[in-house]
Amino acid sequence: MISPYYVEEPITYRKVEVPEVILYYCDDFTYDTDRHDLRYIDCVYMHMGDYGNDPELLEKMRSTPRPIFE
């Protein structure tokens, strides 16, 4: 279990808890950044649906395995 992570809702500025599945994805996708970095926060906002992306497409993107390159 990951500790809770909150972001501000863009319109009302309310604190909203981010689901763990999004945190796991963004931790893996932005492996070389910390959670206060803009790249990480942007990943969270995108997968929370704040940019108007299709939620089903985002869920499919999170569940698709990505290849690991060394």
Ordered per-residue pLDDT tens for the chain, 70 residues? 678 889 888 788 899 999 999 999 999 889 889 989 999 999 999 999 888 889 899 899 888 887 777 6
Q: Long-range contacts for 15-19 (Cβ within 8 Å, ≥24 apart)? A: 16/48, 18/44, 18/48
Boundaries of every domain in the chain: 6-63
Closest CA to 30 of 20, 41, 18: 41
Q: How do beta strands 6-8 and 15-17 pair?
A: antiparallel
Confidence (pTM): 0.80
